[in-house]
Amino acid sequence: MKNKIFYTFLIFISIIVGSFMMYVSYEKIIREDYLISTLEKNSQVESEEYEIASSSLTKFGYIYELQFSDEPHIKYAFYVKDTKDDEYDLLYYSYGVDGDFNRDAMRDQLFSQTINDFE
């Protein structure tokens, strides 16, 4: 009897964990598509120009780091979050430089103006 309860509980927990992982994976794909389409529409940046270097889940959304082929030592950080209307919003955070390179990011001002509407 104890084994049956234990295995039922184990199956229940496995279903819950599996469902959560599927949901997180689905949200990542949807938000990544939103990021790509918004960059193409607002900044005229094609998806072939960059690769997504990393993505991470936060409490309120996903943070994506993009790395462009012509700027291999710079990663641009974008945040895709939920809005109150159950839609998504894209925010440009900033950029980070790998290594001891002292460079300005070529696209920092572009993303600040086209994504965040800063002048």
Does position 106 have pLDDT exceeding 90, yes or no?
A: no
Instruction: State the greatest distance between any 2 C-alpha atoms of the chain, in Å, as a whole number.
Output: 69
Nearest to 49 by CA among 107, 90, 102: 107
Query: Residue 77 has what pLDDT?
Result: 92
What is the DSSP annotation of 55-91? EEE-SSEEEEEEEETTEEEEEEEEEEEE-TTS-EEEE
Query: Residue 95 has what pLDDT?
Result: 86
pLDDT confidence bin for 73, thresholds 50/70/90: confident
Is 62:28 a contact under the CB 8 Å cutoff? yes
Residue reference for tokens 């959304």: 61
How high does pLDDT run on average in the chain? 87
By percentage, how much of the chain surpasses pLDDT 90? 44
Does position 119 have pLDDT exceeding 60, yes or no?
A: no
Is 113:79 a contact under the CB 8 Å cutoff? no
pLDDT digits (tens, 9 = 90+) for 5-57: 899 999 999 999 999 999 988 988 999 999 999 999 988 999 899 999 888 88
The single-letter DSSP state of residue 106 is T
The pTM is what? 0.81
Sorted by where each begins, the domain ranges of the chain are 2-114
Query: Residue 17 has what pLDDT?
Result: 96
Instruction: Please enumerate in sequence order all residues whose Cβ is within 8 A of that of 114, keeping only pairs 6 or more positions apart, or say none.
Output: 42, 43
